[in-house]
Amino acid sequence: MQLREARLCLDCEELHVDDHCPACASDAFAFLTRWVPVAERRPARRPPVRPPPSRLASLARGGVTGMALVAVGRWLWRATEPVPKDKPKR
């Protein structure tokens, strides 16, 4: 029986968790937490635990990063390339 759910029968002083007292069938009760304070079960919430990323996800992320670096590198290479005088700019 948990303290949060414990009820004290006001007629026969029986402790129970049901809606009616199992000893005298009375429905007059008071929760025990009225007189006995209950501390919180968990004083602080823990942050949710994230599963480590899968190998496939890390490879895909690395591949996307690599492709972006190659694209930026090509763009920079073209930007620094000298323009021939006989050809117009791209």
Q: Within 10 Å of residue 59's Cβ, how many Cβ atoms? A: 11
CA distance 25 to 19: 9
pLDDT for 90: 56
Please state, in angstroms and rounded to a whole number, the distance separating the CA atoms of residues 90 and 74.
Answer: 14
Return the structure tokens found at 59. 């490879």
Q: Which domain holds residue 3?
A: 1-37
- To 10 degrees, the CA torsion angle through 46, 48, 49, 50? -160
Is residue 4, in this structure, part of any structural domain at all? yes
Would residue 10 count as lying in a domain? Answer: yes
Q: What are the tens digits of pLDDT across the range 12-30?
A: 999 999 988 999 999 999 9
Classify residue 77: in a domain, yes or no. Answer: no
- If one counts the domains in the chain, the total is 1
Domain annotation covers residue 8: yes
The residue among 83 and 34 whose pLDDT is bigger is: 34
Question: pTM score, two decimals?
Answer: 0.43
Separation of alpha carbons 28 and 8, rounded Å: 9
pLDDT the model gives residue 42 = 66
The 10s digit of each residue's pLDDT in 29-71 is: 999 888 888 877 667 778 888 888 787 777 777 788 888 888 9
Distance CA 68, CA 55 (A): 20
